[in-house]
Structure formats: C-alpha cells, structure tokens
Amino acid sequence: MLRMQAFRLCFPVPVPLPQPDWTTLVGGSALWALALVLPLSLPLERLEAELTQTGLSSDQQQALLLLSSLLLALGVGVVIQLLLSWALSPSWAGSLGLITGGASLFFGLAQRGSDG
C-alpha cells in the first residue's frame, strides 16, 4: 500500500489535454502566410526566369507564379503555426503571426517609401 502511494506521488495522473481549436490554427496559419508571402516570393525569381523560356502565355505564367507563391506561403505558414502552437500555444502563435504580419507590412511600406 505504501509502495502504491509513493508511486502516485512520483507519477501523478496526467490531466487530459483539451481538444484542439481548429479556428485558431486556420487563422494563425493565414496570418503567418500573409506575413511571409513577400519574403518567400524572392526565391521564386528563378521559377519566373524559367517560365519565360517556356511556351506559356504571360497570363498563364502570372497565374502559375501567383499560385506557387500562395501555396508556398500557406505551407510554410501552417508549419510555423503548428510548431509555435506546440511550443507556446495556439493563441500565442496566432498573435505572433498578427504581429509579424504588421511588421512585414510596415517594413515593406518603409522600404517602398525610401526607394521613391
């Protein structure tokens, strides 16, 4: 009996985890994708250069570039949201996505203002 009490003191019964909130995951992923769409579009310049050598029309090239940029940003956004949700919590990860999106917009506008 004493042995069982000592075991329970050392290894308490785990608390069940709450069910995941998918709205936080989807919203946070969208915020991270929005924040990362411009930085992640820079590596797509090689794809754009390769597309100019294909027989696709200009409209098809632009549609393919837009679709690939959005898919890349959404994929990276989901991965970042899942990692940060695991490390922090889903609400904190979504909040960081919102802050990063605002900072990305601010720095993009600041860069455009200094270029002009």
Range of the domain at 92: 22-115
**Whether the predicted model's global pTM rises above the 0.75 cut:** no
CB 44 within 8 A of CB 65: yes
pLDDT tens per residue, range 48-91: 888 888 888 888 888 888 888 888 888 888 888 888 888 887 77
DSSP state of 42: G
Please check whether residue 14 lies inside any domain of the structure. Answer: no
pLDDT tens per residue, range 88-103: 877 787 788 888 878 8
CA distance 78 to 53: 32
Please check whether residue 26 lies inside any domain of the structure. Answer: yes
Task: For 39, list phi and psi in degrees, rounded to 5.
Answer: -60, -35
Q: Domain count of the chain?
A: 1
